[in-house]
Amino acid sequence: MTRQDAFSALISVRDEFEATKFAVGHVLRLSDRDPSLVGQYVTGLSRSDLQTCQRNLEATYFLCLFAVFEGTLRNYSKFGRKRLKEPPMERLMDSIGRYRHISPQHMQNAHAVRILRNDMIHEHQQELRLTFHDCKSHLATYLSWLPPLW
């Protein structure tokens, strides 16, 4: 795997998020003019379902973004550092951070994203304290400290 592969994967999640946000918003605007539109294509789907989807999009794609980040770190740990164990993310991030001499500020920013992810999964928090784009930026910056190839 390469560092560029990791960046490309984060960008793909961002692009899919933006495309989905556009598409759902567009269908909702069209359904304002024609309320029967939604039910014509998917049986049982309502405008309310689309509104819920729209409200949850950023959180949904944030979780996808973090999954890509986690997968990258686990890949680097296994193939780049030849580690066989799969520690919890906090320990993995700290271990890689020490090994790659990642700046304290970049570590702190990436951990803030990890903590947000944990709060969403384990505490059922619905609101993002950071924007999707800030999270992507923090995770990409952390990944920028990895070697170009492993």
Residue 89, both tokens = 């993310």
Tens digits of residue pLDDT in 19-73: 999 999 999 999 999 988 888 888 889 999 999 999 999 999 999 999 999 999 9
**pLDDT > 80? residue 126:** no
What sign has the CA pseudo-torsion 112, 134, 102, 82? positive
* pTM beyond 0.85, yes or no: yes
Mean pLDDT score of the chain, rounded to an integer? 95
Q: Which residues are within 8 A (CB) of 44 and not within 5 positions of it... i.e. 6 or more apart?
A: none
Alpha helices in the chain, H assignment, sequence order = 3-33, 37-41, 47-75, 89-100, 104-122, 132-143
